[in-house]
Chains A and B, each alone.
Chain A
Amino acid sequence: QKEVEQNSGPLSVPEGAIASLNCTYSDRGSQSFFWYRQYSGKSPELIMFIYSNGDKEDGRFTAQLNKASQYVSLLIRDSQPSDSATYLCAVNGNSGYALNFGKGTSLLVTP
């Protein structure tokens, strides 16, 4: 079973701070990496994807990928209370195209 590991949290950050969410994966052949946001009682919503080593920025969000370390992270700058949610890391394995999800990290942004 290919593993995707995330710290379940909760991660608490003050409003305006940078939230850093981390994810490690076991399948070295993984090719694409996704971050989903899931509000309580709602379905996952895609917020970022990254395929190449390095950083990818989209507004307040930055995804970082290090394939050598099998590590992907999501940075949220200027965190807002509306960012409070569970963030799911998903990895597309080498053997197929079904996303393998971690358990998610709960983020709480306090005013």
Chain B
Amino acid sequence: EAGVVQSPRYKIIEKKQPVAFWCNPISGHNTLYWYRQNLGQGPELLIRYENEEAVDDSQLPKDRFSAERLKGVDSTLKIQPAELGDSAVYLCASSRSGGNTEAFFGQGTRLTVV
């Protein structure tokens, strides 16, 4: 079974530029998460999808961040414009729907804003 696939693995951009990250979850996983992880910290939830519906986006900085999961499968996270403080690893995870289900992570995208 293929795991969660993310691209790109690395991205370096100048501040104020836009950037987008893509995620394809494990087949059959209806729940998709985007997390951000800063160095030395645990992952922090940005947004959670149940199928195509964003059910928890309270931690998403909506002035510059947006996300979509149009067909309930793959998802895109966008930042526009990027700021220096956005430098982090952006992790996508997926799980089966419902509580008490394990989440599996992709390899992440390491973003550096210069």
B63 CB to nearest A CB, Å? 20
B42 contacts A46, C-beta separation under 8 Å: no
**Interface: A88 (CB within 8 A):** yes
Band of interface residues on A: 20 to 34
A99 contacts B105, C-beta separation under 8 Å: no
B42 CB to nearest A CB, Å? 3
Task: Kindly state the separation between the CA atoms of A101 and B41 in the bound complex, as whole angstroms.
Answer: 9
Give the number of A-B contacts (CB < 8 Å): 60
- Residue of B whose beta carbon sits closest to that of A32: B100
B102 contacts A88, C-beta separation under 8 Å: no
A99 contacts B103, C-beta separation under 8 Å: yes
**Interface: B108 (CB within 8 A):** yes
A31 contacts B99, C-beta separation under 8 Å: yes
Contact mask A87-111 → B, CB, 8 Å, 1/0? 0101010001111111110000000
- Chain A residues near B48 (CB-CB < 8 A): 96-98
B100 contacts A44, C-beta separation under 8 Å: no
**Interface: A55 (CB within 8 A):** no
Residues of A that sit less than 8 Å from B by CB: 4, 8, 31-32, 34, 36, 42-46, 49, 51, 88, 90, 92, 96-104
Residues of B that sit less than 8 Å from A by CB: 31, 33, 35, 40-45, 48, 55-56, 89, 91, 93, 95, 98-108
